[in-house]
Amino acid sequence: MADAGVDYAQIAVNIRTEVLNETKRRADLTAQGKPPPISYSIDGRSVSYTEWVKSMLDAARTAEEMVAALNPYEIHEHGG
Protein backbone atom coordinates (compact mmCIF):
# COMPACT_ATOMS: atom_id res chain seq x y z
CA MET A 1 0.00 0.00 0.00
CA ALA A 2 1.16 3.53 -0.73
CA ASP A 3 2.51 5.61 2.14
CA ALA A 4 1.18 9.18 1.95
CA GLY A 5 4.35 10.44 3.67
CA VAL A 6 6.60 9.31 0.82
CA ASP A 7 7.25 11.51 -2.23
CA TYR A 8 6.82 8.80 -4.86
CA ALA A 9 6.84 11.34 -7.69
CA GLN A 10 10.32 12.50 -6.68
CA ILE A 11 11.49 8.92 -6.29
CA ALA A 12 10.35 8.17 -9.85
CA VAL A 13 12.11 11.27 -11.17
CA ASN A 14 15.31 10.36 -9.32
CA ILE A 15 15.30 6.81 -10.70
CA ARG A 16 14.68 7.93 -14.28
CA THR A 17 17.42 10.58 -13.92
CA GLU A 18 19.85 7.95 -12.67
CA VAL A 19 19.09 5.73 -15.69
CA LEU A 20 19.57 8.66 -18.08
CA ASN A 21 22.84 9.69 -16.41
CA GLU A 22 24.22 6.14 -16.54
CA THR A 23 23.19 5.78 -20.19
CA LYS A 24 25.03 9.03 -21.00
CA ARG A 25 28.07 7.91 -18.99
CA ARG A 26 28.20 4.63 -20.92
CA ALA A 27 27.95 6.51 -24.23
CA ASP A 28 30.75 8.87 -23.15
CA LEU A 29 33.00 5.96 -22.14
CA THR A 30 32.35 4.22 -25.45
CA ALA A 31 33.08 7.43 -27.39
CA GLN A 32 36.42 7.66 -25.52
CA GLY A 33 37.26 4.09 -26.51
CA LYS A 34 36.85 2.84 -22.95
CA PRO A 35 34.68 -0.17 -22.14
CA PRO A 36 31.52 0.58 -20.18
CA PRO A 37 30.77 -1.49 -17.05
CA ILE A 38 29.85 -5.08 -17.85
CA SER A 39 27.65 -5.68 -14.83
CA TYR A 40 25.67 -3.80 -12.23
CA SER A 41 24.42 -4.75 -8.81
CA ILE A 42 20.81 -5.07 -7.67
CA ASP A 43 20.37 -6.11 -4.05
CA GLY A 44 23.86 -7.61 -4.07
CA ARG A 45 23.19 -9.61 -7.25
CA SER A 46 25.26 -8.99 -10.39
CA VAL A 47 23.12 -8.19 -13.45
CA SER A 48 23.66 -6.98 -17.00
CA TYR A 49 23.11 -3.36 -18.01
CA THR A 50 19.87 -4.35 -19.75
CA GLU A 51 18.56 -6.08 -16.61
CA TRP A 52 19.61 -3.08 -14.50
CA VAL A 53 17.74 -0.63 -16.77
CA LYS A 54 14.64 -2.84 -16.77
CA SER A 55 14.72 -3.13 -12.98
CA MET A 56 15.20 0.62 -12.53
CA LEU A 57 12.38 1.51 -14.93
CA ASP A 58 10.10 -1.04 -13.24
CA ALA A 59 10.86 0.67 -9.91
CA ALA A 60 10.07 4.08 -11.44
CA ARG A 61 6.75 2.77 -12.79
CA THR A 62 5.91 1.34 -9.37
CA ALA A 63 6.59 4.73 -7.78
CA GLU A 64 4.40 6.41 -10.41
CA GLU A 65 1.63 3.91 -9.64
CA MET A 66 1.89 4.89 -5.98
CA VAL A 67 1.43 8.54 -6.98
CA ALA A 68 -1.70 7.57 -8.91
CA ALA A 69 -3.00 5.53 -5.96
CA LEU A 70 -2.57 8.48 -3.61
CA ASN A 71 -3.99 11.02 -6.09
CA PRO A 72 -6.80 9.17 -7.86
CA TYR A 73 -8.67 12.26 -8.98
CA GLU A 74 -7.92 14.65 -11.79
CA ILE A 75 -9.41 18.14 -11.73
CA HIS A 76 -10.20 19.91 -14.99
CA GLU A 77 -11.07 23.59 -14.92
CA HIS A 78 -12.87 25.25 -17.76
CA GLY A 79 -12.44 29.01 -17.96
CA GLY A 80 -14.94 31.29 -19.50
Which SS3 state, helix, strand or coil, does residue 42 take? strand
Mean per-residue pLDDT, 7-22: 94
Nearest one of 11, 20, 13, 7 to 53, comparing CA atoms: 20
Q: Compute the radius of gyration of the chain from its Cα atoms.
A: 17
71 pLDDT more than 60? yes
Asked if residue 40 has pLDDT above 70, the reply is: yes
Does residue 78 register a pLDDT over 80? no
| pLDDT at res. 72 | 67
What distances in angstroms separate CA 31 from CA 28, 40, 43, one per listed residue? 5, 20, 30
Domains of the chain: which residue ranges? 12-70
Cα dihedral sign, 56-58-62-65: positive
